[in-house]
């Protein structure tokens, strides 16, 4: 069944859209404070579609993400009493408590690693505001961590460029179904 090919074609079309950079910036900002979808899903195809603009896209993503992180920090600092019930309702409260423990142990490095890794960065931005982390240290850790991640993604995709785009298009359905299978196995194993 060819389900992922048309989705891939649509994503690549969006990556070439005249306003794609603004969508990327908006997604990057939102993901750092409240939205669940990481900007890599736009950054990667945009960098692959336009390798000459990959560094620009990575910089734009980094700046918007750090600004979104600052919004998350302010949410944690000023409005956590409203946010905490949402974390509880959506199953994020245990993760939030874990993040608080990491802040107590590692502070700056917790934010840096969260910025680089695929863990929900928004939990770290909000928690940084809740615990009153030093703002310049928070911004520096976010800038370095997020920048390293987004430049790495953009440059890898740009290096592949049109050749990688064509190769991915050929195998996208197999890769898509393989990903679905892996997710199902992981869910099954966590239930057992």
And the tokens for 110?
């917790």
C-alpha–C-alpha distance, residues 118 and 141, integer Å: 15
Q: For the chain, which residues make up each domain, given as ranges?
A: 4-191
93-113 core/surface letters (b: 16 or more CB in 10 A; e: else): eeebeebeebbeeebbebbbe
pLDDT at 165: 73
Q: Are the C-beta atoms of 166 and 9 separated by less than 8 Å? A: no
* pLDDT tens string 159-187: 987 777 777 777 777 877 877 788 788 77
Residues 29-44 have a mean pLDDT of: 85
């Amino acid at each position: 069944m060819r389900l992922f090919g048309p989705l891939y074609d649509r994503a690549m079309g969006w990556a070439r859209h005249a306003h794609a950079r603004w969508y990327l910036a908006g997604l990057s900002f939102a993901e750092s404070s409240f939205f669940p979808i990481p900007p890599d899903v736009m950054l990667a195809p945009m960098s692959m579609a336009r390798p000459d603009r990959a560094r620009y896209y990575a910089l734009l993503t980094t700046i918007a993400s750090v600004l979104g992180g600052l919004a998350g920090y302010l949410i944690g600092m000023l409005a956590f009493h409203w946010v905490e019930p949402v974390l509880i309702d959506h199953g994020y409260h245990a993760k939030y408590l874990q993040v608080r423990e990491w802040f107590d142990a590692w502070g700056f490095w917790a934010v840096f690693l969260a910025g680089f890794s695929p863990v929900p960065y928004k939990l770290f931005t909000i928690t940084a505001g809740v615990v009153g982390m030093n703002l310049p240290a928070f911004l520096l850790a976010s800038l370095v961590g997020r920048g390293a991640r987004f430049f790495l993604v953009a440059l890898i995709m740009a290096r592949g460029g049109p050749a990688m785009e064509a190769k991915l298009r050929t195998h996208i359905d197999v890769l898509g179904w393989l990903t679905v299978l892996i997710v199902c196995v992981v869910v099954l194993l966590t239930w057992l």
